[in-house]
Structures are given as structure tokens and as C-alpha cells.
Amino acid sequence: MRGKGKELILNGKSYKQLFESLYPQLCVFAYKYLSDLDLAKDVVQEVFVKVWEDKITFHSENHTTGFFYKAVKNKCLNYLKSKQYRVTERYELANLEAYETGQFYMSEVLVIETKTVIDKAISKLPEKAAQVIRLSIEDYTNNEIADQLSISINTVKDHKKVAYRKLRGFLGFLNMS
């Protein structure tokens, strides 16, 4: 993105970087509304295409992320309100009203963004430590992790110790106390 005054303008390279960084989490976000992954992907792609075609400029990088979340939310809600959806799917007005609340929107954005930050931090760990932590997050026991990775239980514990120490360093900014 290049700045022009206070505005950020997307060029081909910055647009591609933005797409690659936001697309996965926006698809997860859209899926929370639509419960259909292919449809969620289509919605997110449509939003990116519209931004590119309309040459939308942004006030800041934070504004950019917020804009895309809000645009995806609105596109999902428009789909859920559409006649096509009501005819082809079970239309539940109560769910739609819950989806339109700011609380639902903010909680979903927070969960997805936090997961993205944690995934990036885990990817910075040594390979075995990252594997151990990912399995641990999936509720594998130390014994199951040891069996899965063909390592001893003590090695699992050592990898966890190293991973937790490094993750505390990577994610220290999340500490709200």
C-alpha cells in the first residue's frame, strides 16, 4: 500500500499481500454466518473483487482490516436476507437477528484474529515443539502425542516447556493484566 496524504491506496503487490493475509480468516468469519464453506469463500472473493474494481482507498491499515470484516459481514447478512436463501434454506429470523448484533460481530472477529495471532506464533516455534503444541491444543494427552510423533513422554514435556516459554515471549503483548 502506498500512502497518498493520509490515505492508503492498494496497488497490485499490496493488494495480493492483503488478500493472502486476510482471506483465510475472512473465510472462517463468513462461514460462521453462512455454514457453507464454498459460499463463504465466494462471498469473501466477491468483496475483494469489489474493492479492487472500485479502487477503494483506506485511511490506515487498521481501517483496511476493519473494512473487510464489515463488508464480509454485510454481504453475508444480505445473502441470509435474500429471497433465494429463504426459499432454498431454512430461514430462521431469530438467528439472523443474533447475527446482526455488534456483540456477535465483535466476538467472532476477536476469536478469529486471536487464533490467527496464535497460529503465527506457533509457526515460529521449532518444528517438533509446534507439532506437540498443535496436538496438545487438539486435546491429545502427552501419551497420545508421544505415540503420534514416536517420541518419549519426557520429550513431549520438554517440547511443551520450550514452546510455552517461547509463546509467552511471542504473545506477551496479549496479557491484559
The 10s digit of each residue's pLDDT in 47-74 is 999 888 887 777 766 678 888 999 999 8
The torsion region of residue 174 among left (phi > 0), alpha (psi -120 to 50) and beta comes to alpha
Banded pLDDT at 100 (limits 50, 70, 90): low
Residue 37 CA, distance from chain mean position = 14
Mean pLDDT lowest among 3-12, 32-41, 102-111, 139-148:
3-12
Can you give the C-alpha Rg of the chain in angstroms? 20
Q: How large is the greatest C-alpha to C-alpha distance in the chain, in angstroms?
A: 58
CB burial string 80-115: b at 16+ within 10 A, e below = beeeebeeeeeeeeeeeeebeeeeebeebbeebeee
Instruction: For each of the domains in the chain, give its residue range(s) and CATH number, in order of start.
Output: 2-116 (no CATH), 124-177 (1.10.10.10)
Q: Tell the residue number behind the cell numbers 493520509, with chain if given.
A: 6
Round to whole Å and give the CA distance between 31 and 108: 11
**CA torsion, points 167, 169, 110, 117, in degrees to nearest 10?**
-60
Please tell me the predicted confidence (pLDDT) of residue 2.
41
Banded pLDDT at 1 (limits 50, 70, 90): very low
Round to whole Å and give the CA distance between 142 and 170: 23
Residue pLDDT, tens place only, 101-157: 667 667 777 777 778 788 888 999 999 999 999 998 888 899 999 999 999 999 999
**CA torsion, points 87, 93, 94, 99, in degrees to nearest 10?**
90
pTM: 0.52
Looking at the predicted structure, is the pLDDT value of residue 41 above 80? yes
Q: What is the mean pLDDT of the chain?
A: 79
Round to whole Å and give the CA distance between 158 and 177: 28
The torsion region of residue 111 among left (phi > 0), alpha (psi -120 to 50) and beta comes to alpha
Please tell me the predicted confidence (pLDDT) of residue 6.
45
Q: Tell the residue number behind the cell numbers 498443535, with chain if given.
A: 134
Average pLDDT on 90-103 reads: 59
Please tell me the predicted confidence (pLDDT) of residue 90.
52
Please tell me the predicted confidence (pLDDT) of residue 72.
93
Q: Cell numbers at residue 62, please?
A: 487498521
Please tell me the predicted confidence (pLDDT) of residue 45.
93
